[in-house]
């Protein structure tokens, strides 16, 4: 780099600094998303390589899954909450791709997810997706797909109705409503596959469970689940 180029770059950097998406600190390189301190602070769970890990236990008796993993612990006012908020409500794609790649690398390294044929992002209701302009689970899925080298299938699984209005109903009744709200097109193309359902964070797990139930109706299917974060510690 010539002296003049260096001065030009430095000036540009002063005018348009690249800030850490976690703490807002100035970053030296444009392609970096987080500073080293924030990267070091990320609370990885290490669940992926553990059969019977807390996420898998969470679905025991609810959904017959092959394996499950959440990459980070989710706590209030944490770096992970801040990053997921920017992805979900500010449309920050780079954060979704970064978190998805991080999740994907762990899945690959664990060796427990190497029979996955395709990824399914947990769908939003189409109205909600239209309003928001994107589905955060699909952005994360793009990052995971990049690392795992498997296709990301968007649009095959569709959420039928908003479930928020059903919160006052009895749990069992609500469950029926929720479980009825996913439809899957072109099921024949998925027969015999091992699918990985992707979402941002597991809180109650009810929506993942309902979507998983719909997927498991496909014949000879295997299902695993992976999310960026998990709320219990």
List of residues contacting Zn ion (CB under 5 A)? 20, 22-23, 25, 35, 38
SS3 68: strand
Rounded Cα distance between 28 and 19, Å, is 9
- Could you tell me the smallest distance in angstroms from the CB atom of residue 21 to Zn ion? 8
- Could you tell me the smallest distance in angstroms from the CB atom of residue 22 to Zn ion? 4
Of the pair 17, 155, the CB lying nearest Zn ion is at 17
Of the pair 22, 123, the CB lying nearest Zn ion is at 22
Of the pair 24, 151, the CB lying nearest Zn ion is at 24
Rounded Cα distance between 59 and 78, Å, is 25
Q: Which candidate, 231, 197, 199, 189, places its Cα nearest to that of 214?
A: 197
Rounded Cα distance between 144 and 148, Å, is 6
Of the pair 25, 174, the CB lying nearest Zn ion is at 25
- Could you tell me the smallest distance in angstroms from the CB atom of residue 92 to Zn ion? 15
- Could you tell me the smallest distance in angstroms from the CB atom of residue 35 to Zn ion? 3
Of the pair 42, 158, the CB lying nearest Zn ion is at 42
If one counts every other C-beta atom within 10 angstroms of the C-beta of residue 87, the result is 26
Q: Are 228 and 99 in contact (CB under 8 A)?
A: yes
Give backbone dihedrals phi and psi of 224, rounded to 5 degrees, phi first: -125, 165
- Could you tell me the smallest distance in angstroms from the CB atom of residue 162 to Zn ion? 36
DSSP 8-state code for residue 51: T
């Amino acid at each position: 780099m010539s002296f003049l180029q260096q001065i030009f770059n430095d000036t540009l950097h002063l005018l348009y600094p690249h800030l850490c998406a976690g703490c807002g600190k100035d970053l030296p390189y444009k392609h970096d998303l987080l500073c080293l301190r924030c990267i070091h602070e990320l609370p990885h769970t290490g669940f992926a390589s553990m059969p019977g890990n807390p996420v898998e236990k969470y679905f025991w008796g609810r959904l017959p899954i092959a394996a499950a993993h959440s990459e980070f612990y989710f706590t209030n006012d944490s770096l992970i909450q801040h990053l997921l908020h920017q992805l979900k409500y500010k449309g920050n794609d780079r954060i979704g791709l970064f978190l998805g790649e991080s999740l994907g690398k762990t899945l690959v390294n664990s060796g427990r997810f190497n029979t996955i044929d395709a990824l399914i992002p947990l769908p939003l209701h189409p109205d909600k997706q239209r309003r928001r302009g994107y589905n955060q689970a699909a952005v994360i899925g793009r990052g995971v797909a990049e690392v795992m080298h498997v296709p990301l299938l968007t649009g095959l699984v569709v959420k039928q109705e908003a479930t928020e209005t059903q919160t006052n109903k009895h749990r069992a009744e609500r469950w029926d409503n929720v479980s009825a709200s996913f439809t899957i097109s072109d099921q024949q193309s998925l027969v015999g596959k091992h699918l990985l359902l992707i979402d941002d964070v597991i809180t109650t797990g009810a929506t993942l469970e309902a979507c998983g139930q719909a997927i498991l109706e496909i014949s000879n299917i295997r299902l695993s689940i992976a999310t960026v974060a998990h709320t219990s510690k």
